[in-house]
Structure 1
Amino acid sequence: MRLFRPLSALSAILLAGSCVSAPSNDDLRNALFSNGRPAEAQAYGDFLVARFAAMTNDPETAAEYYAAAIDTAPEKSGIAERAVFSALLAGDYETAVGLAKRASQVGSEATLVRLTLGVDAMVRGKEDEATPYLDETKYGPFNEVIARGLSAWRIADKDGADAAEAYLRSGLSGDANLDSATLYMMGLLQMAEKDDAAALATFETLWDSGARLAVGVHAHAQLLVAGGQRDRALEILQTFRDDIGQNAGLDALRADVLAGRKIKPTRLTTREGAALAVYVPAAALMMQTDDDLSGVYFVLALALDPNLQVARSLWGQSLDNAGRREEAVAVLSRIPDKSEFYATARGQMAWALRREGRNQEAIAVAGEALQHSPDRGLKIQLADLFRSLDRDDEAEHLLSEVIAEDASAGRQDWRVIYARGTTLEQTDRWPQAEADLKTALALQPENASILNYLGYAYIDRGLNYDAALNMISRAVELEPQSGYIVDSLGWAHYRMGRYELATRFLERAVELSPSVSLLNDHLGDAYWQMGRKTEARFQWQRALKLDPSPEDKARIEAKMTSGPEAVLLKKAESDTSTALAVARRN
């Protein structure tokens, strides 16, 4: 089975919702306790309302009611910490600072309370006041990296870069990910102090270790160009794009380098550096979670440096990930049109609207932004939108524009070529699709998605069975936990008449992805061919319960009533579009 994945890096569809018939928080509070309730009961009522608000994705209300409970609750410290967290989650930095001060007054030593107060001191330019709040020995591993980074910029401002560097080195833990964040911070500090040779050595060591952090790569490339190593800078920028994907800041720098513009290394101020000390671990956290927790830290980073638009961009994405889409759109709309992240933000806004079912608004937002700036990344985002809406001709037109522009610049992007290939295949332009898919595979011969898609397309058309089977088998070796890819291998054996072997793989595919309708449908077909008709009907019945497309539903129901023989031939002809349609919903 082929899985549709949006080409743009920040476009995962992650939904979170709450019951529309749930009572309001005020109604719940009033129902719990009557007027005139004792203080402890009132605090408990406030706590329950706050908890309910937090559970239903309403951090603003949660912060309000946690704050109301602080003075009267028996466990003031714990309530205060929840209040600070909820205020930051709601994006209300000023309220969070006020609550953190109240929390400190009632004896809270909670990590987030102290971190917020430390950031506040640095925002106010009172670095010395931050010192007691940033004692890293009182933090867990993740927050320790942030606290240590903040302290390093404070130390550099007061005692110089050497002292800050020694301090950072003393905190290296042996954890590759955490240490990479610390070393990137050291390189930025060295660069801020104009010790470019030391900074370049730090960045080169990180690059050679496989570390790939956009803000660090940006600084690394700047130093290389300033030192006369233009080709090396372009090499690492291209490698980052190949390995990680498109980044608006790095793309803008690459364009400046290619245009021959003078590149001056960025020298961060203490507050700008402190903002990155919070942002860098937060960005790493966001890439590992599906919620809005990282937004707490993006709010702190933006308090230190309101112009750190990359933090605003990722904050908006984290809100979208958590289903807080109106807030996501509001945050992303604050990125100015002069920022290199403007086009990315507009693309993110469009996807947030798309996920709310506001399709025309989504296309309008992306289209207007594209008229404002014919940005490559925005063209890709808009093409993704069109693909998700089955408007494949419009998607293919945009992708072809990007491929032509890339060719003029002397580069090939396998992601865009692959996306156009899948789009062409879905519109029955097989010769052109095959050419694109083979080109993408030549550029990325060990990419499981390309191997799976091209192999499945061959099998589906009755072409190149042996080569196709080898491709899909290799894809399974690369991604053995992908139900979609294992299904492709099973379906290949099915189409080749190897029903017993097909059944084994299709059973495994359903184990890996039990909630995908088409995988259950395929397994039912295999069971039928094995004479296991009761089990076949069970799988088809299950497939019907898993939100199949209208076409799939009609076909499965026909098999249930009159047997599969009458529809198997039609099924073979329609499976290509069916697989993609299902994958698009997943």
Structure 2
Amino acid sequence: MKRILSPIFLASLFALGACASSGPHGPSYDFTGDRPAEAQAYRDFMIARIASLTNDPETASRRYAAIIDVMPEQASIAERAVFSALLAGDYPAAAGLSSRALAAGSEASLVRLTLAVDAIVRGKPEKARPYLEESAFQPFNRNIANSMSAWRALDKDGLALATGYLEQGLTGDLRYDSPTLYMLGLLQMSGGAEDQALANFERVWASGARLAIGVEAHAELLAARGDTGHALEIIEAFRAEVGTNAALAELARRIEAGEQIKPRRLTTRQGAALALYVPAAALMYQTNDDLSSVYFVLALALDPDLQVARSLWAQALENGGRRDDAIRVLRQVPVSSPYYANAQGQLASLLNAQGKSDEALRVADEALAGTPDRSLQLQLADLYISLERYAEGEAVLSEIIESDGAKEDWRVIFARGAARERQGNWPEAEADLKHALELRPESATVLNYLGYSWIDRGENLEEGFALIRRAVILEPLSGHIIDSLGWAHYKLGQYEEAVDYLERAVELVPGDPILNDHLGDAYWRAGRKLEATFQWERALTLDPTEKDRERINAKLHSKLGPDAPEAAPTPAPPAGVPETP
């Protein structure tokens, strides 16, 4: 999605233009005078600024690079060029521009991290030292620099000095230290200190922290030492608690096949890549933009085989509205990678989001034909359900459940129950939903869905309300769950209670058209018809589906309000397998 130019930014453009005409306090860019070089530089700057705000980092980087030596603020312009080049995924350009930025006097963290990466990529890790150790970093980049310093020092200075870089960042609180301790274990493992590494891995595992790359190294080390049972145990625990991970699934397959597992020995480049990847992954999950992509690009420059970084890079690009770029990145994941199936699933999802559902299904089907992968099956089921092809989604989910055997996954069972409910097959749907709740009694998602389904059908009303209330207690800030509680009151004709909960739901998720529509219905039934009309009109501005748009318009045009509660629409089912709460 293109970023919108704000009125404030447009005003600043005009302000800059006014300042450029003349004056004693700064440079003058006279478009009509005899200074064409400066005029062109000013135009390039404006183009670069607009490009950076409209998801075109490639143009932004190129235009900024063209004016570094012309504009008065050379360091600042060069820094913008570096950042834009990394956003565009152009590491070679970013490395060259970082050298120019340094020459212009830049002290920016990203410039220095890029120069450190470049030194390691060129096989001269010692030249990375001043960039990593003599720079003023903010905490996020300081942690990255310390981790990169540890991997830089391992070969030349030894394990004791290398671990010191990581240990200085420990706080004593495992809630914050677990990523660093996993990195420390990887460093010790690579340095031959396997006993120390295993002790760190066990300590972090016991704390409840779960980091896929760290768990993979932990399981590898256990299997290499012959403790395959414990290795498989922690892999299965990770799957049950967090979800399927492609690399862990592949490791489990190798262990079960009796393959000899060797403890990993990461190179400087591989370790430094992880030093960038791990915090970038955390940043990506905490933000809704493409900022983390700059770190994934640096990580892949160090280790082009770190395909999990490519997968998350694509996710970051999608977060930033750059779907075409995300598709390009996903197509680079090779068939040989454990993350290939994952990438194909992401690719299918992106194509579907672009309205290319036939191509999306073809991609998923072709990938499954060549790689019978569970995660891809889940993606295919999710795709079918998002297209309201519930029977086909159910069939794929049933295949997964059958192949899982005794390893029952509540997410898959729940998703099949939801698909069955959507087809009107209530007895089997109810059985799945109850089974999922037995497996995961504290899942707000399952509690909400089963509780609402009962109330919607006029069955087990007291128990249904109890389930939804438990879900609200577990996730008190979930607007959709609170909406279910309000809508359940509405279905029973308790309109005043419904209004209270539905108003709260809309406060929490103001941009959801269905929640606004529900509140409008409750207002109407409570006799607040003017407010009802406002909510329906607002719902129409929030991009509802065509089916919902027609239904809302019918209420507005008929002046008769919503149908009786018994015929009111039910909340949409979850799109595929839910994440672990």
Query: TM-score with structure 1 length normalisation?
Result: 0.90
From 141, 144, 147, give the equivalent of 1:143: 141
Kindly indicate whether residue 280 of structure 2 is the aligned counterpart of residue 285 of structure 1. no
Decide whether the 8 Å contact of 2:512 with 2:542 is kept in 1: yes
Q: Distance in 1 between matches of 2:274 and 2:574?
A: 41
| In 1, Cα distance between equivalents of 2:408 and 2:369 | 24
Q: Deviations over 1:24-74 (max 9, x none)?
A: xxxxx9xx9579644444333222211111100011111101111110111
Residue of structure 2 aligned with 1:444, choices 440, 443, 447: 440
- TM superposition shift of 1:136: 6.1
Cα distance, 1:388 vs. partner?
Answer: 0.8
Return the alpha-carbon distance in structure 1 between the equivalents of residues 554 and 471 of structure 2: 33
Distance 1:34 1:217 in 2: 64
Task: For residue 549 of structure 1, report the CA deviation from its aligned partner.
Answer: 3.9
Letter in 1 for 2:308: V
Q: What is the Cα-based RMSD across aligned positions, in Å?
A: 2.3
Shift of 1:295: 1.2
Q: Tell me which amino acid in the other structure corresponds to 1:400.
A: S
1:508–1:216 distance in 2 versus 1, CA, 3 Å = same
Q: 1:94 to 1:542 in 2, by over 3 A?
A: closer
Q: Could you tell me how far apart the structure 2 residues matched to 1:553 and 1:171 are? A: 53
| Residue 531 of structure 1, CA deviation | 2.7
2:25 corresponds to which residue?
Answer: none
Q: Deviations over 1:422-462 (max 9, x none)?
A: 11111111111111111111111111111111111111111
1:534 equivalent to 2:508? Answer: no
Q: 1:583 to 1:401 in 2, by over 3 A?
A: closer
Distance 1:524 1:246, change over 3 A: same
The CA deviation at 1:186 is 1.2
Find the aligned partners of 2:282 and 2:44 in 1 and give their Cα distance.
34
Which residue number corresponds to residue 60 of structure 2?
A: 62
Specify the SS of the correspondent of 2:279: helix
User: Do the aligned residues in 2 keep the contact of 1:136 with 1:147 (CA within 8 Å)?
Assistant: no
Change (3 A) 1:482 1:38: same
Change (3 A) 1:548 1:101: closer
Name the counterpart of 1:543: 539
Letter in 1 for 2:510: P
Greater Cα shift, 141-150 or 232-241: 232-241
**Residues 55 and 33 (structure 1), Cα distance of their counterparts in 2 relative to 1, 3 Å cut:** farther
Aligned to 1:524, which of 491, 504, 520?
520
Contact 2:418–2:574 (CA under 8 A) maintained in structure 1: no
**1:211 CA displacement:** 2.0
Aligned to 1:572: 566
**Structure 1 residues 537, 86: CA separation in 2 closer, same or farther (over 3 Å shift)?**
closer
Show the counterpart of 1:240: 238
State the distance in 2 between where 1:483 and 1:474 align: 14
Name the SS for the 1:233 alignment partner.
helix
Name the counterpart of 2:321: 323
Distance 1:545 1:81 in 2: 39
Task: Please state whether the residue corresponding to 1:575 is helix, strand or coil.
Answer: coil
Partner deviation per Cα, 1:207-257 (whole Å, 9 max, x = no partner)? 122221111100001111222322222221122112222110011111222
Structure 1 residues 301 and 182: CA distance shift in structure 2, 3 A: same
Mapping of residues 119-130 of structure 1, within 5 Å: 119-130=117-128
TM-score under structure 2 normalisation? 0.90
Change in 2 beyond 3 A, CA 1:560/1:582: farther
* Contact 1:274–1:304 (CA under 8 A) maintained in structure 2: yes
1:395 maps to what in 2? 393
Aligned to 1:503: 499
User: Match for 1:364: what amino acid?
Assistant: R
Aligned 1:265-414 pairs, distance under 5 A = 265-407=263-405, 410-414=406-410
Contact kept, 8 Å, 2:2 with 2:54, in 1: the verdict is no
Quote the residue 1:431 is aligned against: 427
Are the structure 2 counterparts of residues 187 and 539 from structure 1 closer, same or farther at C-alpha, using a change threshold of 3 Å? same
Q: Which region of structure 1 is more displaced relative to structure 2, 279-288 or 373-382?
A: 279-288
Partner of 1:229: 227
Match of 1:580, SS state, is coil
* Structure 1 residue 106: Cα displacement: 1.1
Give the drift of 1:92: 0.8
Secondary structure in 1 aligned to 2:569?
helix
Q: Partner letter of residue 428 of structure 1?
A: G
Report the alpha carbon displacement of residue 319 of structure 1 after superposing the two structures with TM. Answer: 1.5
Match of 1:180 in 2: 178
Identify if the C-alpha distance between structure 1 residues 36 and 348 changes in structure 2 by more than 3 Å, giving closer, same or farther.
farther
Could you tell me which residue of structure 1 aligns to residue 22 of structure 2? none
- Per the alignment, residue 9 of structure 1 pairs with none
Which of 73, 96, 99 is the matching residue for 2:97? 99
